[in-house]
Chains A and B, each alone.
Chain A
């Protein structure tokens, strides 16, 4: 009994290990290990996103990539149309989410092209809503400068650091 139990545990552990290796190989083979997010830098510097790490810890690609990677769709709203689809050409965030701020007008124009993509956030919001939503839910770092360092322009904008108001108690970094 003990032996078979041990064997089972060893087998399961081995299986888990294989899965992890397979997933990580899959990730490193077909997807970038890291992604540099630096198209929006101004008040903050860019972010080097550890894609590998996030592949390991999320349920599936679709948590971030909606329906574009061909893996099972998580969001029930996306699944209404895209439940059984293969991967599509555009997978990156900035392939779909625009740099320009979204307005009601741009949303309406978008709706004329893709009927149900009518409330799509712009790139800055797509990043933050997706990243910060998860980070806050799972207790991961959620401060602004936990992910991206503030630039001098950012310090001036927030009136912080060397631009802090005289007499305020706040130091350079929050």
Chain B
């Protein structure tokens, strides 16, 4: 009797844990999201940018950011190399324009800000669930629940979230929110896009922007590198880039996978519920079975044999 129970129990446990291990992988994590179908984005055509910094000024005004260190018409910022790198967004500037000098051609200017990923790594790394990807395509965050752990800064493949180091009492994350509160949720063009004199940026549904971008490449094949940065990188981003020079030479990270960052840890995360829920029960079961009938201490070697005979 006890033999069959034990066998049944083991078979059942293995089948159960396998089912639990597989099921959430397929259902909760398995399918790659294509983002919200009507998610908005911005197509950035780097061939048009002249580095006037109007977008930086517009962002400062729209987001009511603090006074900058230098005027927005001061182009000496392009020579700054804080920590040996080009400038990056900070708590005071949610977008920055950088100049990348080229050996053969004129310098390339590139505006950086949050790329508003389809599957944001910042969002998945946040343990207080401060981040949210809205149906309009913006990756926004609730600064009231942010505890300032800076996990998102490590998770972001584009080094975008900035930290309010200047705040001693309540340091939190600061980043571009696609003008969500003031413009995007009403279907309006973001401030930086509107301010650009060269129409470097085109606002629209991400799906349409991809079409426009490929049409531009087809129309002027000699002008552009045949790649739309952000179409596939890390599962797709809301902001997309066209360039005349190889993306690496415009400072882009070209080693990013096409899979969302969360995929790096999906398999591991799928095992966590199994380990936490199944293992205690499983091993308790093992323990109970292996100690059945000998619960009253050691040294009763014959009791096991007696049990077998029953």
Q: For residue B126, give the distance in angstroms from its CB to the closest CB of chain A.
A: 30
**A160 vs B67: C-alpha distance in the bound complex, in angstroms?**
11
Given contacts A108-B208, A119-B216, contact A158 B198 (CB under 8 A): no
Contacting residues, chain A, for B219 (C-beta < 8 A):
77, 119
Contacting residues, chain B, for A122 (C-beta < 8 A):
199
**CB of B194 within 8 Å of the partner chain:** yes
Chain B interface helix/strand/loop/mixed:
mixed
Interface string of A137-171 (1 = CB under 8 A from B): 00000101000000000000111100011011110
**CB of B61 within 8 Å of the partner chain:** yes
The residues in A between 98 and 126 inclusive whose CB is less than 8 angstroms from any CB of B are: 101-105, 107-108, 118-119, 121-122, 124-125
**CB of A7 within 8 Å of the partner chain:** no
**CB of B16 within 8 Å of the partner chain:** no
Given contacts A104-B208, A165-B67, contact A160 B72 (CB under 8 A): yes
**CB of B73 within 8 Å of the partner chain:** yes
Q: For residue B77, give the distance in angstroms from its CB to the closest CB of chain A.
A: 10
The total of Cβ contacts below 8 Å across the A-B interface reads 97
**CB of B69 within 8 Å of the partner chain:** yes
Contacting residues, chain B, for A157 (C-beta < 8 A):
57-58, 61, 72
**A53 vs B215: C-alpha distance in the bound complex, in angstroms?**
35
Chain A interface helix/strand/loop/mixed:
loop
Contacting residues, chain A, for B146 (C-beta < 8 A):
none
28 contacts between A and B (CB under 8 A): A101-B194, A102-B199, A102-B202, A103-B202, A103-B204, A104-B202, A104-B204, A105-B208, A107-B204, A108-B208, A119-B212, A119-B215, A121-B199, A125-B196, A132-B197, A132-B198, A144-B73, A157-B57, A159-B60, A159-B71, A159-B72, A160-B74, A165-B71, A167-B69, A168-B71, A169-B70, A170-B73, A174-B73
Interface residues of B (CB under 8 A from A): 43, 48, 50, 52-54, 57-58, 60-61, 67-76, 106, 189, 193-194, 196-199, 202-205, 208-209, 212, 215-216, 219
